[in-house]
A and B are shown apart, each in its own frame.
Chain A
Amino acid sequence: MAILTVASFKGGPGKTTLCQVIAACCAKDELKIAVIDADPTKAMSTWHAETYEGRPFECFAETSERAIADLAISLDERCDLVVIDTAGFGNLAGAVAMTVADNILVPLTAGAADLNQAEETIKQAKGLAAAARRKIEVRAVMNRLSLNTKLTRHAIRELQEAGIPTLQSSISHRTAFGELSYSGILPAKGAAAEEVEAFIAELKQIGWVPHKSLHASREQGL
């Protein structure tokens, strides 16, 4: 139904954490979701295989620029959402994952280097969309924020001035998101859970994540 690539040509803005959150939430909502781990570190696929404890979803490790688009397209035919986690450096598999996507989410922290790199990633996404003659929507999302700080306010202002389309929701720097990588369990209560809920609700509202599973309905003959 849709391919969502989480991309940034810089390491550390939280691509894998966001992929974990999106995949686990969608699986919890009974959406048919598949994740492609295009990062050679295999952080997402290792987490999925060894740590994740929620409702099952499929996850494939694939870093070949020749195979990734076809894998995404074949999964797209039978899933409600395909999420691609990319590596934190410029590479061809990441560029192909952006080209084949319907939507690209670019996470960034409040640091200047993240903002610069997000701007570059968004520029590249636009170039790829033009070259492939496809409409690809791109949005940034602020991650690992320290709320109510001068730094965060400054970064938000910089984003606005740069004209980078950004999600209203954001994810803060919280222990619960670090724990997710060891526990395999989404934060169920508290501020972290509220942030996750708002983030997924906004993705649903802009149509990047489906509200309900079309594939599950079809399989049940509804």
Chain B
Amino acid sequence: MTLKARRRPDANAITEAALGQKSIEEKSQTIGSSRGMEALEAARRVAPQLPPAEIEPKDQSVNHNMRVRKSTLRALGKAAAESGMSVKQFIMSAVAEKGVNVAPADLVNGSITPWKDR
């Protein structure tokens, strides 16, 4: 009988999870059968104090500051206005086109999208 070596956790995965950069995949789809719904309702009713087994980390917004020349900022503002976008939306759309995985919330025009809809 061969005893196999344990798989070592990947350091990058641990760091991503710790920083909340890695979301938990929902592997199976919720079908919504009545027995399934009843089971969830019964569990919530009998044990309302129980927490979820795992909490999905929130994709929180953070500040990102970048120093640029005034001329660059002016050019960015002008180009964004011509495209009908905010500066942030303009930059984010450009980097998304380059293949960066930009969160959908960062691709909306914050200046015209009501806060509750962002």
Interface positions of A (Cβ within 8 A of B): 38-40, 46, 50-51, 60-67, 69-74, 87, 90-96, 98-100, 124, 127-128, 131-132, 179, 182-185
Contact = CB atoms under 8 A, between A and B. Distances in A.
- By size class, the interface of chain B is 20 to 34
- Shortest 3 CB-CB distances between A and B: which pairs? A69-B36, A95-B43, A131-B42
A166 to B, nearest CB: 23
B59 to A, nearest CB: 18
Interface stretch (B25-33, B87-95, B110-118): B25-33
Interface string B1-24: 111101100000000000000001
A39 B42 CA distance: 20
B50 A95 contact: yes
B53 A66 contact: no
B112 to A, nearest CB: 34
Contacts of B47: 90, 92, 95, 124, 127-128
A39 B1 contact: no
A93 B47 CA distance: 11
11 contacts: A40-B53, A69-B37, A70-B31, A92-B51, A93-B52, A96-B43, A124-B47, A127-B46, A127-B47, A132-B38, A132-B42
Given A60-B27, A70-B32, A179-B1, A39 B38 contact: no
Contacts of A184: 4
B52 A91 contact: yes
**Interface-central residue, A64, A65, A69, A87, by most chain B CB under 10 Å:** A69
Contacts of A99: 38-40, 42-43
A124 B46 CA distance: 8
B30 A70 contact: yes
A19 to B, nearest CB: 16
Interface majority SS on A: helix, strand, loop or mixed? helix
A136 to B, nearest CB: 11
Interface string B44-88: 111101111110000000000000000000000000000000000
B53 A92 contact: yes
B98 interface: no
Contacts of B42: 99, 128, 131-132
A73 B46 contact: no
B26 to A, nearest CB: 6
Contacts of B49: 90
B53 A73 contact: no
B4 to A, nearest CB: 6
Given A92-B52, A95-B43, A99-B42, A61 B27 contact: yes
A167 to B, nearest CB: 25
Contact of A179 (B3, B6, B32, B50): B3
A66 B30 CA distance: 7
A46 B7 contact: yes
